[in-house]
A = this chain, B = another copy of it.
Amino acid sequence: MGAVVLLSGGLDSTTCLAMAVDTHGAAETHAVSFDYGQKHRAELDHAAAVADYFSVGHQVIPVPSVFSGAHSTLLVGGPDNPQIAYEDLPEGQSPAYVPFRNAIFLSLAGAVALIREAGSLYFGAHSEDAERWAYPDCTPEFIGAMANAVFVGTYFKVRLISPLQWMTKREVVRQGLELKAPYHLTMSCYDGREPACGICPTCRSRREAFRANGIEDPIGYEPDL
């Protein structure tokens, strides 16, 4: 049975894809990305490059414009992304939260999995996404509920697989390095800048995770301010 993998083109989903390919093989793995009004739309090119690296199928699904009126820093027209680390953000709702985004992604990808007769749907949320409830649609509670909805709602044909759910970012990178994940092809910067800005929460978190594994992040960053 094959796999469908949510692939943003960032570090976590690329690791998740590497794990899916390791388990299911490239021929049985298919990646899906979403075009939803994100500022970092350039990530879709990175997703395509990552999928190509693994020789897996890839499709970009356009998400209808249900997000107009949302005030997410991730969305075109939204406020600026903060320039601090995650742990320095105030507790509570993340300014980058996109309304119920991951449920929409998982539901659309669940349909794709069912049609492709893929029994596994991979989702690369990791434990730091869920910390302090910053992203409620990355928490174990949400993932468990969606896992039930996916399994029951597809006649028990598709299972939600979230192998990074209990890993820190450092552990995600360690896992990916073991599987030779092509991190040089990925993009994480919330502003979608190339070279990466290095100061948005995701740039900081990612860079630190590489250093914690004793190496430098292979992507380029703007010179430190």
Interface residues of A (CB under 8 A from B): 61-64, 66-70, 93, 97, 99-104, 106-108, 110-112, 114-116, 133, 136-137, 139, 141-142, 144-146, 148-150, 152-155, 158
B142 in contact with A155 (CB, 8 Å) = no
A-B contact pairs, 19 of them (CB 8 A): A61-B66, A66-B111, A67-B115, A68-B115, A70-B111, A97-B155, A100-B110, A100-B158, A103-B106, A103-B107, A103-B150, A104-B107, A107-B107, A141-B148, A142-B148, A142-B152, A145-B145, A145-B148, A145-B149
B154 in contact with A99 (CB, 8 Å) = yes
A66 in contact with B146 (CB, 8 Å) = no
Closest B residue to A135 by beta carbon equals B153
For residue A26, give the distance in angstroms from its CB to the closest CB of chain B: 21
B111 in contact with A137 (CB, 8 Å) = no
B149 in contact with A149 (CB, 8 Å) = yes
- Stoichiometry, as copies per complex, reads 2
Contacts of A108 in B (CB 8 A): 64, 66, 104
B93 in contact with A153 (CB, 8 Å) = no
Closest B residue to A148 by beta carbon equals B145
